[in-house]
């Protein structure tokens, strides 16, 4: 079979392409396939080099490290591999490597850049990156920038890092932290606008931690003009009323451009103050989470009912996607009747799809029964499996 697949027969080539495409997200399997035959090796090469990780783990560790120096050696041996790299994932420590700038200069097809931290004891990532590395980073042809779990001593360190990086279409600030938020230094960054380098930011993702509102304040205070062109907003884990105030302000600012809103991992059961409803009258696609794992998320459902109810004029909402984790108690099922009534009003005349994803089979029947009006309109679909970034789990 292996020898047959290595021939040039069109059907065999097509079969190999189907196999490699099926396993494209399973890097370990792709690596194994690449060793079977030359045909597999050629076809899997794009997937293997599509995303490269440069990681230097904190000392002491017995784990292997994937450094810029290692990768530079490979690129010098096989220069054609450089154009295959579409994404780089790295730690701040790996950026300090002397060969990092040479690696970045070689990656002419790079589209995504991801910096992350894992160890809570690591210092401010800005300390690891020298002017030579920053100069190389500024020339990257990326469209997507993701900063994940970075801990900055001061706010202007984050701002300076953003200013050193190229402007992107898609910016993600995920669970980043300012170590000393009480010494906010917004005034220090007033003359250095990251987003004003260009007006092309189309998507913004903010994942909240304890002081997530700080980043929203920064955007609202200094980047208002550039934010007006946003098409898509995504928020993860907003957990304070103040977080929702900032989200509401941003939605109002971008109401002429934002058409897609996603709010993930929200839990109102532990809030002492009920958050304000959001102005979503201009949204076309809405994604949200309902999590019954703690038995308290009936409050979240009621909040969404209140949010829908404040829409009193026909709006453009066409697609509503809801993840429902766990199962609500019998006495709290009735709130879904309110969802059904609210979404069946004439103001949602353009509503085309209401799709719910459940991970408990019994919840499927509950929702189909409680959302009878939407069911009769032919817009309701309830499926098993939780949706994450367009994929079911």
322-379 residue pLDDT tens: 998 888 888 889 999 999 999 999 999 999 999 999 988 789 999 999 999 999 999 9
pLDDT tens-place string over residues 180-236? 766 555 555 555 555 555 556 899 999 887 666 777 777 777 667 767 788 999 998
Closest Cα partner for 336 from 366, 291, 361, 295? 366
Polymer length of the chain: 393
More confident position, 157 or 112: 112
Res 390 pLDDT > 70: no
How far apart, in whole angstroms, are the C-alpha atoms of residue 67 and residue 90?
9
Scored b (16 or more CB within 10 A) or e, 233-272 reads bbbbbbbbebbbbbbbbbbebbeeebbbbbbbbbbbeebe
The DSSP symbol for 169 reads: S
pLDDT confidence of 392, banded at 50, 70, 90?
very low
Count of beta carbons in the 10 Å neighbourhood of residue 113:
22
CA angle 329, 361, 327 (to 5 degrees): 20
pTM over 0.85: no
| Count of beta carbons in the 10 Å neighbourhood of residue 119 | 12
- Residues 96-123: pLDDT tens digits? 777 888 888 888 889 999 998 876 656 7
Share of the chain above pLDDT 90, in %: 25
* pLDDT (average), residues 62-74: 73
Percentage of the chain modeled with pLDDT above 70: 73
């Amino acid at each position: 079979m292996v020898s047959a697949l290595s021939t040039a027969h069109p059907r065999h080539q097509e079969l190999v392409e189907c196999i490699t495409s099926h396993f494209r997200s399973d890097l370990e399997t792709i690596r194994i396939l690449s060793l079977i035959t030359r045909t597999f090796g050629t076809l899997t090469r794009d997937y293997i080099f599509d995303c490269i990780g440069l990681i230097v783990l904190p000392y002491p560790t017995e784990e292997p490290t994937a450094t810029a120096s290692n990768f530079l050696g490979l690129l010098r041996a096989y220069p054609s591999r450089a154009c295959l790299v579409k994404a780089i994932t790295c730690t701040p420590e790996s950026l300090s490597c002397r060969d990092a700038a040479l690696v970045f200069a070689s990656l002419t097809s790079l589209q995504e850049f991801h910096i992350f931290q894992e160890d809570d004891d690591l210092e401010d990532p800005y300390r690891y990156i020298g002017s030579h590395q920053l100069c190389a980073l500024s020339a990257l042809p990326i469209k997507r920038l993701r900063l994940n779990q970075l801990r900055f001593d001061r706010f202007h360190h984050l701002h300076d890092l953003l200013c050193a990086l190229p402007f992107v279409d898609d910016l993600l600030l995920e669970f980043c932290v300012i170590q000393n938020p009480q010494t906010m230094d917004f005034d220090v960054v007033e003359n250095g606008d990251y987003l004003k380098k260009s007006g092309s930011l189309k998507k913004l993702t903010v994942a909240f931690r304890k002081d997530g509102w700080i980043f929203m304040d920064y955007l609202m205070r200094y980047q208002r003009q550039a934010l007006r062109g946003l098409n898509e907003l995504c928020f993860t884990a907003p957990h304070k009323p103040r977080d929702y105030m900032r989200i509401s302000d941003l939605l109002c600012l971008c109401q002429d451009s934002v058409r897609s809103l996603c709010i993930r991992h929200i839990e109102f059961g532990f809030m002492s103050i009920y958050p304000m409803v959001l102005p979503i009258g201009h949204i076309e696609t809405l994604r949200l989470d309902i999590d019954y794992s703690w038995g308290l998320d009936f409050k979240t459902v009621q909040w969404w009912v209140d949010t829908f109810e404040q829409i009193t004029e026909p709006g453009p909402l066409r697609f509503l996607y809801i993840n429902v984790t766990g199962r609500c108690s019998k006495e709290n099922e009735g709130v879904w009747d309110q969802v059904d009534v609210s979404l069946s009003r004439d103001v949602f005349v353009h509503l085309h799809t209401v799709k719910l994803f459940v991970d408990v089979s019994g919840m499927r029947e509950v929702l189909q029964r409680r959302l009878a009006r939407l069911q009769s309109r032919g817009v309701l679909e309830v499926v098993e499996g939780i949706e994450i970034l367009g994929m079911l789990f």
